[in-house]
Amino acid sequence: MLFAASTAIAASPEHQERHFAVQGHPVVVLQNVVNGRIEVKSWKNSEVVVSSTAAKDKVAIDMEQVGDRIDIAATSTVAAGQPHEVEANFQLTVPEHTELQLKTQTGLIYVEQVTGDMKLESIAGDVHLKEVSGYIIVKTTGGSLVCTLCSGKLEFTSVSGNAQLLQPSFTNVNLMTTSGNILYDGDFLRTGIYTMKSGKGLVEVRFSGNDSFDLQAKTYSGTVDNQAAQFMQPEQHTSRHGNKFTRVLNRTIGMGFAKVEISTYSGTIRILKRD
């Protein structure tokens, strides 16, 4: 079944709302190439509601539904060559199981209580996730990620953005930032693999007394500040040593079920145990 509805609203009113009925797990693709915020929340209904607020006569918002996929695009209608500091803000209400692909320039991306794979991209805007689950890919240039009570798998890459994972339940985490900081404050699941890298920033890990993982922390010219040495033993499972350039700290916490690899080129690695 193919149902398509398309609107191009160059001279749109400031607020617009569209409803899209869906049957299964919808895929929502939103590309916002002007400034503005994207907020996504879930509900029990099989319907996607898109509310947008855009500067009148300066932003064109296109929406199209093809089956369970909903494509939304916001573009500037300001003449080429002119500065376009225009804004379009979106509020999406989606079924709990929804796949998201959101891209924006500067505004915040906020997603709450959505389960499904998601790819979230931003240049300067931050990404805040709360109670989100799935295979999550976040890519920013300067924007930071704050992830609270999230689960599944997470990949984060950024040039200068920070990443904060608070009370996470991820089975697989891969974080990389060139100059930003990383904070992981939560448990490591038994079969999980966690990789955290920062070129020049601080990577801080706060684990709990119940955690069980093998830790490798390595740096070239940075600092490894291990404030939980009394809870660790020399690593017992593998012999992952450094070379003559890299300083490596290998430790086992508990039985060493999970695998945690932390590295920084010239920043700081800090390891703490939560009270």
Partner 1 sequence: MHCKELESVLEAEGLAQLSKDARLHLATCGACQGYVADLNTIITAAKTLPTEVNPPDRIWISLRAQLEAEGLIKEPVEVAERFSWWEGFGAWLKPRTLAAATVAAFVLATAIYVTRVPRNNPPEAAKNQPRVETLSPAQTQAGVSVQPSSVPPANSGPSPAPVPSKNNKELAPSPSESASFTLDQAELDVPNMQLAGNSQVDIALRQNLRTLNAFIAECELHLKQNPQDELAREYLNTAYQQKADLLAAMMEGGRGDN
Applying CB under 8 A, the residues found at the interface with partner 1 are 33-35, 76, 78, 80-85, 105-106, 123-124, 141-142, 157, 159-160, 176, 178-179, 197, 199-200, 218-227, 229, 234-235, 241-250, 263, 265-266
Please give the distance of CA 106 from its chain centroid, rounded to a whole number.
Answer: 15
Minimum distance of partner 1 from residue 199's CB (angstroms): 5
Read off the DSSP letter of residue 115.
B
Task: Please state, in angstroms and rounded to a whole number, the distance separating the CA atoms of residues 60 and 88.
Answer: 9
Residue 1 or 79: the one with the smaller Cβ distance to partner 1 is: 79
Minimum distance of partner 1 from residue 169's CB (angstroms): 27
Minimum distance of partner 1 from residue 12's CB (angstroms): 20
Residue 68 or 126: the one with the smaller Cβ distance to partner 1 is: 126
Please give the distance of CA 113 from its chain centroid, rounded to a whole number.
Answer: 14
Minimum distance of partner 1 from residue 67's CB (angstroms): 26
Residue 5 or 229: the one with the smaller Cβ distance to partner 1 is: 229
Residue 20 or 90: the one with the smaller Cβ distance to partner 1 is: 90
**Residue 14 φ/ψ, nearest 5 degrees:** -65, -30
Minimum distance of partner 1 from residue 262's CB (angstroms): 12
- 100 CB-side CA count, 13 A: 36
Residue 93 or 106: the one with the smaller Cβ distance to partner 1 is: 106
- Lookup: tokens for 23: 């049957």
Are the beta carbons of 250 and 271 closer than 8 angstroms?
no
Are the beta carbons of 215 and 250 closer than 8 angstroms?
yes
